[in-house]
Structure 1
Amino acid sequence: MFERTAGSHVVDLLKQWGIGHIYGMPGDSINELMEGLRKADIRFIQIRHEETGALAASAFSKLTGRIGVCLSIAGPGAIHLQNGLYDAKKDKTPVLALVGQVTSSSVGTDTFQELKLESMFEDVSVYNRRVQNAEQLPDMLNQAVRAAYAEKGPAVLVVSDDLFSTKIKREQEMTSPEYSVPHIWAAEEDLQEALKLLESAKKPVILAGKGAQNASGEVLAFSEKLKAPIIASLPAKGLIPDDHPNNLGQLGQLGTEPAEEAMKQADLVILAGTAYPYREYLPDKAPAIQIDLDPRVIGKYYPATVGVAGELGPALAWLTSELGEKDTGFLEQFQEKRRAWHDKLREDIEKQTDMLQPQQVLGEIQHIMERDAVVSLDVGSITIWTAKYLQLAGQKLVLSSWLGTMGCGLPGAIAAKLAYPDRQAIAIVGDGGFSMGMQDFVTAVKYELPMIIVVFNNQKLQLIEDEQKMAGNKPTNVDLANIDFAAFAIACGGEGYTVKTRAELQDALSKAKASKQPVVIDAYVEDISAVL
């Protein structure tokens, strides 16, 4: 009987699952797995911090729909994965974490770097198991990946490194590396109830979320037939083109005035692929139709009058085909408000000031941004500025939506270039967020991943200062010691530019767009409130 190591089976299965790269850092509890990966054609992306690896794996999954994979040693490396895995859990995207453990004969003895990893990962994971013996490893890997896809979250497999080098016999395969995507069609009786509400509505408003990822055409067709304005949640920005005349932009703290006003006037809300959580920005009493693949979120944050459990695209296509003619007055009113709002934004971008302002930087990014670019957005005041001023129509946006973790911008850009090597990658980051994980800029340099990282440098945590003021408190501990980000980029082997005027910014962005290297543009911006 031919024997192979369990690790060789794992590497083969990873390839069969279509996994082309893994983020990680080698160490003493994964060295046998590293040897297996060395012999395979799976690309290993050596990151400088495991949090970067987990955040990049999550971003890769959000961008592509395919599972992202990260790897860590036991103990401290495993701990570092948590932030990225929680990001994947909260944004419901599949990630596999292969986590080393001390040798199987030492588990339970409280040896060096041993932690009870199963307990530590229990809350963050949709699948969480420790492999007890080498024979289990291939089948448990298949279970882990399948669970990550099925439940849209992180799967964690904890493996003592010696198990990877253990030879096992496989007389017959117990499982296979296959996942069949279910197609869930909405019940016709629910659609009929929804249709009744749509026919009687005079001021319907569509709030579309990331569930529109594969249904943007259906959302637009539905909006045009219903004569209803669309508001997009931030994760859906770009899925619904910002330049479409029915798109009013985002809602809430980072939203637009037309979106807020339309939602207040709505006599029917259609929650299309979103479980929008900010109740204060939704109507007090308007009826609602909620369409979602996950029945658990229907009515979770807003009382749904009619719940439609099923895929968004087919549900909207059916409703569109059945709808009669609707009055255009409400939509036309808000199309005019939208035009006036965009004129105001354009004036903000084009105005002349002594010091660069954030919206002006976004206006210049707009000029060099390609139609199929991937934009990785960090968390902070730049999230609000970008939501309002950067127009996406065809580009992809990746961000930490529900967890809202600072430091996600650079990992997202790294993932973007690995997912789409021929597309432009732009990271929009604050000085606070970028400095949380900027050591992995050298990872982008090492693997020759051209990207443009624009640091909005106001030497403070602007959004936190805004929040402290809004609470009636005196801002405290929000000022940041300045870093020469351009010099840092050059020290890492990339390109770096410091800009303080619009002319300097335009020149730097032009050079960055043409560059074949990762570039950091350190843009000094005025510290004005993002909460307008």
Structure 2
Amino acid sequence: MAGKTAGEVLMDILEDWGVEVIFGMPGDSINALMEPLRKKKSIRFIQVRHEETGALAAAAYAKLTGKLGVCMAIAGPGAIHLLNGLYDAKMDRAPVLAITGQVETDLIGTDYFQEVNLDRLFDDVAVYNQRAMSAEQLPAIANQAIRMALTHRGVAHLSIPDDVPRFKVEREARVTSAIHVRPVILPRAEDLEKAVDLLSEPRKTVILAGKGTHGAREELLGLARKLKAPVVVTLPGKGAIPDTHEYCLGGLGLLGTKPAYEAMREAETLVMVGTSFPFTGFLPEDVKTVQIDTDPGQIGKRYPVDVGLAGDAAIAMKHLTERLAVREDDAFLKKYQVKMKDWREKMKRQGMSDRLPLRPQTVPVALQEVLEEDAIISCDVGNVTVWMARNFMLSDQKFITSSWLATLGCGLPGAIAGKLSFPEKQVVAVCGDGGFGMLMSDFVTAVKYGLPIVVIVLNNQKIAMIKFEQEVMGNAEFGTDLKNPDFARFAEDCGGIGFRVETREELRQALQRAFTIKKPVIIDVLVDPDEPPMPAVITFSQAKNYAIHLLKEWFD
């Protein structure tokens, strides 16, 4: 460490922690970090065209790999641009390190050019937020920042004044380790016994599986089989078990399935695993509830709970399964298995339609035919989320989106991160035209680094989900029209390949070709702007307000 600059030591620390990729854009207040980064051959720097892309890509990298995502930006405008992607990481609990420059130490507090109070700016988004005060301090706070990001699965931020990386670590610096130890969290024995007693009662039981059940498929299915309980998945939990599995009822809520909605209405016992589901209006009333979560603070946070199990999902479910007797009555399960079979067939029929303009449901159904079992899917936010949640039957593919922040624009950065993480796998971004238009400039980033991703744009010239929301409120549509470029031609101008399709057969052919081309591809799919993302079950209030909207459209 002695004799090296603080910037060189920082790169050594990132290497020690296994960092392989940093997303960012160079600039004056981080130039002293760019030179040691250039020399660090084990770390790949991916230059993005917008810092928001860098932060969203770092968050997606962390979601896909479980490793630390890293992004970097200059002081002032660059740091500000990071925030949206960092809030996505915070809310989806993805470990990310954000490194920002700052004006030189003797200029801080003088309202200097591009000076922003970064300590205050990042205070809400970060679990660890520190400014480097000296070359000797930087190694210790860098280790601590990374350790905190991994421990709390959140954002850590280091603000580094422009002069600090150039100083040599002369004095004896505090020595710490690049080590993070993961605990095994076990529920209390008495809580397990309470849960076993509750679940042994002969009630109709539904399991709600969230993000925390990823990696615990066998334990989840083992518990479901013991309880003869159908499994409903949250959007972040999609893929915990295959969508086509006999125990799966699909999603819940506005993106969900009719069988999941009805099963929740009929349930007498609810088991929530690895989720703090926010849309409690879709959960059953007056039922016995068991909630499992590694974070005790999430148990009972949004919904009344009878028994809480603070522990790892896989371990807690395994302990429950071992203690429970097999439930003999499977009438409830079989009832909803029949309903779910009918629902899946209905979703497939929607996607097989040759109606023009194309129904947007055609895209996920056609994608299903060409996508391999281990592919990476980065789904943007909007109506496209509805179609992918309902009409694409996930098996062992990895599926990521901006779940809690639900920020438009996450699809393309997620695909870039996906291809860097898993270069040998198919990677697809499925975007609406509104989401893709926000950060489409970074398609050239995929071209520059030779990342053969496939970007599917559902082009309906609308911010279609907001159009539908306005209509359901009984209002006339306003401010939702989009004027789009030819996205296929844009792909060609960037150095990629573009397809513009209008029919189902053109879509099928484009998809088959896209995954054989060793270049980034955009498939611009013209879809019907008037296909509403109707919830699985329509309430009277929604129907009434929609009728009011139609009258307004007629008479205005």
Q: Determine if the alignment matches structure 1 residue 383 to structure 2 residue 419.
A: no
Q: Which amino acid aligns with 1:34?
A: M
Contact 2:354 2:504 in 1 (8 A): no
Q: Determine if the alignment matches structure 1 residue 159 to structure 2 residue 160.
A: yes
**Corresponding residue of 1:23:** 23
Contact 2:229 2:333 in 1 (8 A): yes
Q: Determine if the alignment matches structure 1 residue 437 to structure 2 residue 439.
A: yes
**Corresponding residue of 1:129:** 130
Q: Which amino acid aligns with 2:483?
A: A
- CA positional deviation for 1:170: 5.8
**Quick one: distance in 2 between partners of 1:172 and 1:475?**
62
- CA positional deviation for 1:182: 1.1
Matches within 5 A, 1:196-345: 196-326=197-327, 327-345=329-347
Contact 1:202 1:330 in 2 (8 A): no
- CA positional deviation for 1:228: 0.3
| 1:225-260 per-position Cα deviation (integer Å, ceiling 9, x unaligned) | 211000000111112211110100000101000000
Contact 1:74 1:102 in 2 (8 A): yes
Percentage of identical aligned residues: 51
1:191 counterpart SS class: helix
- CA positional deviation for 1:172: 6.4
**Quick one: distance in 2 between partners of 1:489 and 1:119?**
40
Q: Determine if the alignment matches structure 1 residue 372 to structure 2 residue 374.
A: yes
Contact 1:205 1:231 in 2 (8 A): yes
Contact 2:136 2:174 in 1 (8 A): no
**Corresponding residue of 2:449:** 447
Q: Determine if the alignment matches structure 1 residue 113 to structure 2 residue 148.
A: no
**Quick one: distance in 1 between partners of 2:87 and 2:265?**
33
Contact 1:145 1:155 in 2 (8 A): yes
Could you tell which deviates more after superposition, 346-355 or 128-137?
A: 346-355
2:254 counterpart SS class: helix
**Corresponding residue of 2:12:** 12
Q: Which amino acid aligns with 1:436?
A: M
- CA positional deviation for 1:174: 2.1
**Quick one: distance in 1 between partners of 2:301 and 2:424?**
40
Tell me the number of residue pairs that the alignment of Structure 1 and Structure 2 aligns. 532
2:98 counterpart SS class: strand
Q: Which amino acid aligns with 1:290?
A: Q
When normalised by structure 1's length, the TM-score is 0.99
Contact 1:62 1:93 in 2 (8 A): yes
**Corresponding residue of 1:77:** 78
Contact 2:137 2:174 in 1 (8 A): no
Q: Determine if the alignment matches structure 1 residue 462 to structure 2 residue 437.
A: no
**Corresponding residue of 1:38:** 38
**Quick one: distance in 2 between partners of 1:163 and 1:346?**
59
Contact 2:54 2:413 in 1 (8 A): yes
Could you tell which deviates more after superposition, 356-365 or 28-37?
A: 356-365
**Quick one: distance in 2 between partners of 1:448 and 1:152?**
30
**Quick one: distance in 1 between partners of 2:165 and 2:249?**
53
| 1:348-395 per-position Cα deviation (integer Å, ceiling 9, x unaligned) | 222331321111121111111111000000000010111000011100
**Quick one: distance in 1 between partners of 2:2 and 2:18?**
26
- CA positional deviation for 1:341: 1.0
Contact 1:201 1:267 in 2 (8 A): no
**Corresponding residue of 2:143:** 142
Q: Determine if the alignment matches structure 1 residue 510 to structure 2 residue 506.
A: no
**Quick one: distance in 1 between partners of 2:66 and 2:373?**
20
- CA positional deviation for 1:283: 0.8
- CA positional deviation for 1:285: 1.2
The CA RMSD over aligned residues, in Å, is 1.0
**Corresponding residue of 2:541:** none
- CA positional deviation for 1:2: 4.5
| 1:154-197 per-position Cα deviation (integer Å, ceiling 9, x unaligned) | 00000012111100136465211110011111111111101111
**Corresponding residue of 2:92:** 91
**Quick one: distance in 1 between partners of 2:109 and 2:342?**
66
Q: Could you list the runs of 5+ residues in structure 2 that have no partner in the other structure?
A: 536-556
**Quick one: distance in 2 between partners of 1:46 and 1:491?**
19
Contact 1:201 1:268 in 2 (8 A): no
Contact 2:136 2:173 in 1 (8 A): no
- CA positional deviation for 1:4: 1.3
Q: Determine if the alignment matches structure 1 residue 47 to structure 2 residue 58.
A: no
Q: Which amino acid aligns with 2:290?
A: I
2:357 counterpart SS class: coil
Q: 2:480 aligns with which of 478, 481, 491?
A: 478
Contact 2:27 2:74 in 1 (8 A): yes
**Quick one: distance in 2 between partners of 1:11 and 1:70?**
13
Q: Which amino acid aligns with 1:531?
A: M
Contact 1:98 1:158 in 2 (8 A): yes
**Quick one: distance in 1 between partners of 2:69 and 2:402?**
15
Q: Which amino acid aligns with 1:344?
A: K
Extract structure 1 runs of 4+ deviating beyond 6 A: none
Q: Which amino acid aligns with 1:206?
A: I
Q: Which amino acid aligns with 1:189?
A: E
| 1:110-132 per-position Cα deviation (integer Å, ceiling 9, x unaligned) | 11000110000000110001111
**Quick one: distance in 2 between partners of 1:329 and 1:143?**
53
Change (3 A) 1:433 1:172: closer
Q: Which amino acid aligns with 1:394?
A: D
- CA positional deviation for 1:506: 1.3
**Quick one: distance in 1 between partners of 2:171 and 2:265?**
63
- CA positional deviation for 1:436: 0.3
